[in-house]
Amino acid sequence: MTFLAIDAWWWPFVFILVAGWLATDGWRFLGVYLGGKMSEESDILVFVRCIATALVAAVIANLLVFPGGALADSPLALRIAAAAVSFGTYLAARKNILLGILAGEAVLLTGLYLL
């Protein structure tokens, strides 16, 4: 089966749904199965956590430096300032994610309004 195998309006949606499900759920089930039997301090789990953190950091850096859409019209300095304020607020508010996001959004929106 390929993406173009069936000529129906619903086929691309079904294909993406099934392909996305098959690609992720196997790994999720394996993670749940193995995760319950492993120590949180095991070397392999620490390695996996490091890789996951690095991937998230890379995505955030890519969104800051090479944004798309309306965010691409904002200056780089404003995007970096909003991220820094967001992270600082997150740490100052005892790792409250919502407050960090709201502070970053406030800086970004205020900067866009003033420019």
Indicate the average pLDDT of the chain. 89
Task: Give residue limits of the domains in the chain.
Answer: 9-37, 39-67, 74-115
pLDDT by residue (tens digit) across 15-49?
A: 888 888 887 888 888 888 877 778 888 898 889 88
Q: Please report, rounded to a whole number, the percentage of residues in the chain having pLDDT higher than 70.
A: 97
For 17, 45, 65, 87, the CA distances from 24, given in Å and listed in that order, are 11, 18, 28, 30
pTM: 0.65
pLDDT at position 2: 67
Assign residue 2 a region (left: φ > 0; alpha: ψ between -120 and 50; beta: otherwise). beta
Q: What sign does the CA torsion over 73, 74, 75, 77 have?
A: negative
Average pLDDT of span 45-67 = 93
